[in-house]
Amino acid sequence: MKKIEYPLLGECVYRTVLKNGLKVNLVPRPNFHKVYGILSTDFGSNDTHFCLPDTQEVRKVPAGSAHFLEHKLFEKKDHDAFELFGHFGADANAFTSYTKTSFLFSTTTNVKENLEILLDFVQSPYFTAKSVAKEKGIIAQEINMYADDADWRLYAGLVKNLYPGQPFSYDIAGTVDSVNQISVKDLYDLYQTFYHPSNMDLFMVGAIDVTETLEWINKNQAKKEFAPAIVPQRLDGRNEVAAKAVNPEQQLAFSVKRAKVAIGIRGFDRLPAGKAGLKYKLALQLLFYLLLGESSQDYQELYNQGIVDDSFDYSVVVERGFHFVWFSGDTDQPAIFRAKLTSLILHATSVLKTQTVEFQLAKKEFIGRQIRAMNVLEAIAEQYEGSLFDDATLFDKIPLLQELTLEYLLETAAKFISQPGMSVYELCPKEDD
């Protein structure tokens, strides 16, 4: 086991790769009472087109299959994994993103038992036609619930504009029609392809003993048989994604009292590999904080003019194969909101090139945020992105932030921001509302 030390932070990460390919990260926190564990696979809603590892048969599954599979893994022939976690005093959950599926638990007791439940239920698929049919109705209700959520429709509409016709453009849960097409075979084929230990990682943080915890994991995995390690063959390539032009704008009449506007910027530049990719992401976050964070001069002017209000927000999204930034807010002046923000974003380099003092202050604030996040076990575990950033953890962010310069931010802005990459999506109040 490799010990990765961060002496300035007083932190360390213990990392190893098991014989079956499972990557294990352990972060002991002896002063904590809680333990947080998360088991993730490099597989999400975008991965709908692939080759089966044994036969090389090309398969394409319906949208929403990854999310559906996440749900079904909890249910076994004679029990539900949620109930087992509850019996041993743990809270459990799971989530699916565009490129990752994660299963997690947190507990202050029975760590060994809960760790084994996590590994066992994820590594023992059990699907039947009857249980799959039942789940379709449950997920359909979830999809319909989100269809009535204005903020979700705004975000989903913008992503569809940014990546038209691509897996990105579908809701992570799919549609009611696509979910109804999911079969037992689809689930087993996906599981066989993407849930091999060599495509997964386990991150444990909190009140753990490293030697003892690793022994528990090794014993658990030694009881199981796995096929040889594989590299999943995904057929939704980035060249195909890059070929699709952005839809510049779209409006939808919706049951809202005020207009909701989202502006997105899709990155057509290639994300740097390894930790340089994480540095690039941090640069984007710092760049747009300087441009439109609550303390920026331009934000304050827009706020004082009533163009934006406390509903305004933005987010930087960087995942395997794509990256974009989006801004959103409720406004009584949607046309001015769009025009002002679009102009400000397109002229970001000229706006920021003189903000040397503001940059240094913002960088210190970002470093402070990372130090505070180290007190949150969930933040430590969930900010680990595996192979995307060459196994970088939350603890790698501070030295990367320290490396950032205003010149690097301006170079990043010049590469990332482009008129062809921008899109606007607006929810307009219905006339009868």
**Set 11, 57, 70, 358: catalytic member:** 70
pLDDT of the residue at 422: 96
Collapsing DSSP to helix, strand or coil, 264 comes out as: strand
Which among 402, 398, 305, 409 has a CA at the least distance from the CA of 355? 409
Query: What does the alpha-carbon distance between residue 102 and residue 172 come to, in Å, rounded to a whole number?
Result: 14
Residue 239 has pLDDT above 60, yes or no: no
Q: Which residues are CB-neighbours of 280 under 8 A, at least 6 positions away?
A: 271, 272, 318, 412
The answer to whether 179 and 62 have CB atoms below 8 angstroms apart is yes
Query: What does the alpha-carbon distance between residue 136 and residue 150 come to, in Å, rounded to a whole number?
Result: 23
Query: What does the alpha-carbon distance between residue 162 and residue 424 come to, in Å, rounded to a whole number?
Result: 9
70 is catalytic: yes
| Listed range (80-94, 209-223, 238-252, 259-273) with the worst mean pLDDT | 238-252
Residue 12 has pLDDT above 80, yes or no: yes
Average pLDDT score over the chain: 94
Query: What does the alpha-carbon distance between residue 22 and residue 39 come to, in Å, rounded to a whole number?
Result: 10
Query: What does the alpha-carbon distance between residue 190 and residue 222 come to, in Å, rounded to a whole number?
Result: 23
The answer to whether 311 and 262 have CB atoms below 8 angstroms apart is no
Segment 239-246 mean pLDDT: 63
pLDDT in tens, 333-356: 999 999 999 999 999 999 999 999
Interstrand relation of 422-429 and 249-254 (parallel, antiparallel or unpaired)? parallel
Of the chain, the percentage scoring pLDDT greater than 70 comes to 98
pLDDT of the residue at 165: 84
Within 13 Å of residue 78, how many CA atoms lie on the same side as its CB?
0
Please tell me the pTM assigned to this model. Answer: 0.94
